[in-house]
A and B are shown apart, each in its own frame.
Chain A
Amino acid sequence: MKYLRLFIEQLKYSWIKKFSLQLTTLLVLMGSFLAVSLTLLFLTNFNTTVNSFGEKFEVSVYLTDQNIKENKGKISKLINESGLFKEVNFIHKDSALKTFKSKMKKNMPSFILEEKSINPLPSSYSLKIKKDFNSKAGFNKISKFADQLMGEEGVDEVAYGQVWASKYTSFLKTYKLLSVGIVLFLVLSIILIIGNSIKSSISQRRREIEVLELVGATRMYIRLPFIMEGAFMGFLGAACSIFVTYAAYSWIVTIAKSNMGVLLNGIDLHFLSIGLCVAICLLGVLVGSLGATICINKMNSGWAASNG
C-alpha cells in the first residue's frame, strides 16, 4: 500500500511536470508495441490460413489394374497402420470415371464417350493428412511413407505435391524466425525507450532522491516507484497498441469484405486471442520494469547524497 501510494505520487509528478515528454514516450512505446502486435496478428492469420491450406492437402495413391482386389487390402492395411491420415477414401476406377465425366461434361474427350472405350483412369486412394503432420517433420514422414508405398506391389504412383509441400514448410519456418527476430528487436528498443524515460524522471527528481537518502529511505523505497512507473508505461503502451491494432484490424476487415469478398473466400481472419493480448500486456509490464531496473541500477549506491 505504501509503495502503491508512492507510485501514484510518482506517476502524477511525471505526468504533470513533464507531460509532453511522457506523452511522446507513450506514443513511441505504442508505436513499437503496435509493430509487435501487427507482427503477431499477421503471424496468427498467416498460420491459420496456411494451416487451412495444409488441412486440405491430400495424398493420392494410384493403383495398377492388376490383382487389384489382393493389393487393395494390403495397401489399405499399410495406410491405416501408418497413423498419418485422418481420412482414407478408396476411389474405384469406375467411380473415378463417373466423377470425371460429370465434371468434364461437354469437354469430355471423345474416345472416352465411345461405348467400348477402355477406362483410362486408375483406382486410387485419396488420403487426407492429420493436423499433427502439418509441419516439416510431418511432411518428411509422409514423403518417407510415399517412398515405402512406391515399393509396394500394385502401387503405380503416389502424388502429394512434393515441391509445394517443401516450399510451404520452409517458408513457414523462415517467416516464424523472422517474426521472432522482429519481436526481439522491438523488445530491445522498448527497453531502451523506457530506460531513457526513467532516466529523465530520475534526473528531474535527483534532488528529491538525494533528500530521501538523507532521511534514511531504503533502496527499495527509492527504486520501486521508478520500476513501477516503467512497468506502467510498458503496460499502457502495450494496451494502447492492442486497442489501435483492433481498430485497424476491424477497419481493414470491413474494407476487405466489401471490396475483396471473393479473394477472402475461404480465408477465416481472426484478431489476436485474449491470451495473446494478455501476453502482450504482460510483455509490456516485463520489458517496462526491466528497462527501468537496468536504468536505475547504478542509482542510490547508499552514499549518493554525499556526491551531491
Chain B
Amino acid sequence: MITFSHVYKTYPGPNHALVDINLNINRGEFIFLTGPSGAGKTTFFKLLSGFDKPTSGQVEVLGDNVSLLTSSAIPNFRKKIGVIYQDFKLIDDKTVFENVSLPLKVQGAKDKYIQDRVTDVLDQVSLSHKSKSFPMQLSGGEQQRVAIARALIHHPSLLIADEPTGNLDPALAEEIMTLLEKVNAQGTTVFVATHDLEMVKRKNKKQVEIKNGVINEIS
C-alpha cells in the first residue's frame, strides 16, 4: 500500500532531510512515525501525502508513484487520502457542517448525499450536535474531531495525521487517538507522526523511528 524505495530528499544548503529511506506498509496497519524535532518526520509526511516530491527514489502510495505525479494528477491523488494536521486547518467562517462537507463538495457530490454522509461522520466523531457551530466556538479536541471527520468524509483508504494531538492536553489527546484506532478498526490504514513517545508505548502499535533523516528502527 505504501512503499518507500531508496528515497532521498535534499533541500538547498544542502540539507539532507531524508537519506535512503526504505519502508513497506500494508493495508489496514496503524503506524506511528516518531523522532525528535528536525528528524525528518514532516518531510516524510509531506512525501507520503503528496505535498512534496523526493529528490531521488520512489514513493508509491495507493498505487500512485508520488515522484511522478503531475500538477493535474495531484488533486485526484489527494481525493484518495485523508489528512489531519496539528493546527486542524479548519475554515473559521464556515460551520462544522460546511467544513466537513468540503471534500465532497470538491468532488461534486449531490447535496442529499453530502447531507447524509456528513450526518453519519459527525455522529461517528460524536459532534452531531455541533454541526451548526463555527470552529472558534469549539474546544481544541472538538476542532481536531472536526478535522478527522473532514478527513474521513470521502472514505479514504489512508489516513495521515501529522502531530494530531500536538496542541491538545493528555485527556483530549487520548480521546483523539481512540478515535483514530476506531477508524483503523474499520479498515483504514492510519499513519500518525508524533513525538509523544509515552502514548506510542501505551498504544503498542507498529512504530517507525526516524533520526537525522534516516530510519533508525522499526518495531
A304's nearest neighbour on chain B, judged by CB, is B51
B159 CB, min distance to chain A CBs, angstroms: 13
The CA-CA distance from A306 to B91 in the complex, in Å, is 17
Contacting residues, chain A, for B174 (C-beta < 8 A): none
- A187-213: CB near B (< 8 Å → 1, else 0) gives 000000000000000000001101111
Question: How would residues 81 to 100 of chain B score, 1 for a CB under 8 Å from any chain A CB and 0 otherwise?
Answer: 00100000111111000000
A161, CB-defined interface residue at 8 Å: no
Nearest CB of B to A18, in Å: 12
- Interface check B71, CB cutoff 8 A: yes
With the chains together, A214 CA to B94 CA distance in Å?
16
A306 lies within 8 A of B46 (CB): yes
Q: Is the CB of B74 within 8 A of A302?
A: yes
Residues of A209-239 contacting chain B, CB below 8 A: 210-219, 221
Residue B102 at the A interface, CB < 8 A? yes
With a cutoff of 8 Å between Cβ atoms, the chain B residues found around residue A77 in the complex are none
CB distance B89 to A210 under 8 Å? yes
Interface centre among B75, B76, B92, B108 (most CB of A within 10 A): B75
Question: In the assembly, what is the distance between CA of A258 and CA of B94, in Å?
Answer: 58
Q: Mind listing 8 A-B residue pairs with CB under 8 Å?
A: A208-B91, A210-B89, A215-B103, A216-B76, A216-B106, A216-B107, A221-B75, A302-B75
Q: Which residue of A lies closest to B104 (CB)?
A: A215
Q: Is the interface of A mostly helix, strand, loop or mixed?
A: helix
A211-B89, A212-B102 are known contacts. Are A219 and B78 too (CB-CB below 8 A)?
A: no
Q: Which of A212, A214, A303 contacts B83 (CB 8 A)?
A: A214
Contacts A216-B79, A217-B75; A207 near B102 (Cβ below 8 A): no
- Please pick, from B52, B72, B92, B150, the residue contacting A215 in the complex, using a CB distance under 8 A: B150
Q: How far is the CA of A216 from the CA of B103 in the complex (A)?
A: 7
- Tell me the complex Cα distance, A169–B144, Å: 74
Q: Bound complex: CA of A13 vs CA of B94, how far in Å?
A: 11
Chain A, range 20-56, C-beta contacts under 8 Å to B = none
> Per a CB cutoff under 8 Å, which of B52, B71, B94, B106 touches A219?
B71
Collect the chain A residues with CB atoms within 8 Å of residue B75's CB.
216-219, 221, 302
Q: Is the CB of B92 within 8 A of A207?
A: yes
Cα(A212)–Cα(B75), bound, Å: 10
Residues facing B in A250-308 (CB within 8 A) are: 301-303, 305-306
Known: A219-B75, A302-B71, A302-B75. 17 other contacts (CB 8 A): A2-B108, A13-B93, A207-B89, A208-B91, A210-B89, A211-B102, A214-B89, A215-B78, A215-B103, A215-B106, A216-B103, A216-B107, A219-B71, A303-B74, A305-B51, A306-B46, A306-B52
Nearest residue (CB) in B for A1 is B108
CA A217 to CA B93, docked complex, whole Å: 19
Q: Which residues of A contact B72 (CB under 8 A)?
A: 218-219, 302
Chain B residue at minimum C-beta to C-beta distance from A218 = B75
Chain B: minimal CB distance from A1 (Å): 10
Which A residues are in CB contact (< 8 Å) with B103?
215-216
**Ordered nearest first, which 10 A-B pairs have the shortest CB separation?**
A306-B51, A216-B78, A302-B71, A216-B79, A215-B103, A216-B75, A217-B106, A218-B75, A302-B74, A208-B91
CB within 8 Å for A303 and B52 given contacts A214-B83, A215-B103, A215-B150: yes
> In the complex, A219 Cα to B83 Cα: how many Å?
19
Q: Within the assembled complex, what's the spacing in Å between the Cα atoms of A27 and B52? A: 43
Q: How far is the CA of A214 from the CA of B74 in the complex (A)?
A: 10
Chain A residue nearest in CB terms to B150: A215
Interface residues of B in 118-177 (CB under 8 A from A): 150, 154
B46 near A221: Cβ-Cβ < 8 Å: no
Set B71, B76, B91: member contacting A211, Cβ < 8 A: B91
When chains A and B are docked, how far (Å) is the Cα of A219 from the Cα of B106?
11
